[in-house]
Amino acid sequence: MKKFLLALFLFVICSTGAFAWRTPRWGYLPVNVYIEDHPKKAIVESAFNTWQTASGEIVSFRMKDAKLASSLHVKFEDKNPKVQKKDFSHAVGLAATQSPLGFYAKVDLTIFLLSPDTGRPLSDQEIYEISLHEIGHALGLQHSTSRMDIMYPLVHGQVFLSPNDLNMLKQIYLPD
């Protein structure tokens, strides 16, 4: 019995370690998405549709009317409450993920509606760009150093997914 428990313990530890290095991703598709009721909701829905269509449905989403029926939640806030923290002082969107064993269990996206620098309302185009970027994080993508990518860490007028954005997605969801 001790050998069995030791073997089970080692299996669990090794399994956990095997997933620890891997980029987190969704283990099932479509991902159920809840977007809180807001005048900007259609912009965010359009960004989800862009990811699904541009990826050739490598990733897919199902919009839900109830938060409890979803694992990816989107909310809107006027301004970033973490402005005191240097790392987030200019953030216009946040992705908070829970990924046990390398697979997302829950993701909360927050889209901020006011510029952190001036307090002015962000344009619909900026909200769309931010939504595309944060959805990229919700899919497991990291920041890019190329201004041509939606995953570039600053709002810069990019409203299309680049070939590099889609290649990063394929590396996560279509491994060799």
* CATH code assigned at 41: 3.40.390.10
Do the Cβ atoms of 81 and 93 come closer than 8 Å?
no
Query: Distances from the Cα of 152 to the Cαs of 34, 70, 74, 82, 170, in angstroms?
Result: 25, 28, 21, 21, 18
Whether the pLDDT of residue 70 is over 60: the answer is yes
State residue 8's pLDDT score: 33
Tally of structural domains, the chain = 1
Range of the domain at 51: 26-173
User: What is the per-residue pLDDT for 93?
Assistant: 87
| Structural domain contains residue 6 | no
Provide the pLDDT for residue 176: 65
pLDDT in tens, 15-26: 333 333 468 899
| pLDDT band with cut points at 50, 70 and 90 for residue 47 | very high
Is residue 70 a part of any domain in this protein? yes
**Position 90 confidence tier, pLDDT thresholds 50, 70, 90:** low
More confident residue, 152 or 82: 152
pLDDT of residue 79: 79
Residue 84 has pLDDT above 80, yes or no: no
Predicted structure pTM score: 0.83
Domain assignment present for 17:
no
Q: Of 153 and 86, which is predicted with more confidence?
A: 153
Q: What's the pLDDT score for residue 3?
A: 41
The values of phi and psi at residue 40, to 5°, are -95, 5
Does residue 5 sit within a domain?
A: no
21 part of a folded domain: no
Query: In angstroms, rounded to a whole number, what is the distance separating the alpha carbons of residues 130 and 136?
Result: 10
**Does any domain span residue 15?**
no
In a domain, 102, yes or no: yes
Residue 4 pLDDT > 90? no
Lay out the sheet containing 31-35: strands in order across: 61-64, 31-35, 72-77, 106-112, 93-98
Q: Is there a domain that residue 16 lies in?
A: no
User: Which amino acid would we find at residue 117?
Assistant: D
If one compares 86 and 119, the residue with the highest pLDDT of the two is 119
